[in-house]
Homo-oligomer: A and B are copies of this chain.
Amino acid sequence: MASFRAQKIAKKKQEILRSAAAVLAEKGYQGTTMEEIAAKLLMTKGSMYYYFKNKDDLLYQCHQMIMEISLERMEEVVNSNLSPVEKLRNAIKGHILLATSEKSMFMVMDKPNQNFTDEQLKEVLEVRKNYSHYFDRILIEGIDSKVFNPVDVRMVRMIILGALNWIQQWYNQEGPQSAEEISDAFADYLLKMVVKEH
Which of chain B's residues have a CB closer than 8 A to the CB of A164?
162
Contacts of A41 in B (CB 8 A): none
Copies of this chain: 2
A186 to B161, alpha carbons, bound, how many Å? 13
Chain B residues within an 8 Å CB radius of A162? 162-167, 169
Q: Output the least CB separation between A61 and chain B (Å).
A: 20
- Chain B residue with Cβ nearest A164: B162
Q: Are B193 and A156 in contact (CB under 8 A)?
A: no
Report if A46 contacts B (CB, 8 A): no
A–B Cβ pairs within 8 angstroms, 19 of them: A26-B114, A31-B114, A31-B115, A110-B111, A111-B169, A156-B189, A158-B166, A158-B167, A159-B186, A162-B164, A162-B165, A162-B167, A162-B169, A165-B169, A189-B193, A190-B193, A192-B192, A192-B193, A197-B197
Known: A27-B114, A158-B167. 16 other contacts (CB 8 A): A26-B114, A29-B30, A30-B30, A31-B114, A111-B169, A151-B189, A152-B185, A158-B170, A159-B190, A160-B163, A162-B163, A162-B165, A162-B167, A162-B169, A166-B166, A193-B193
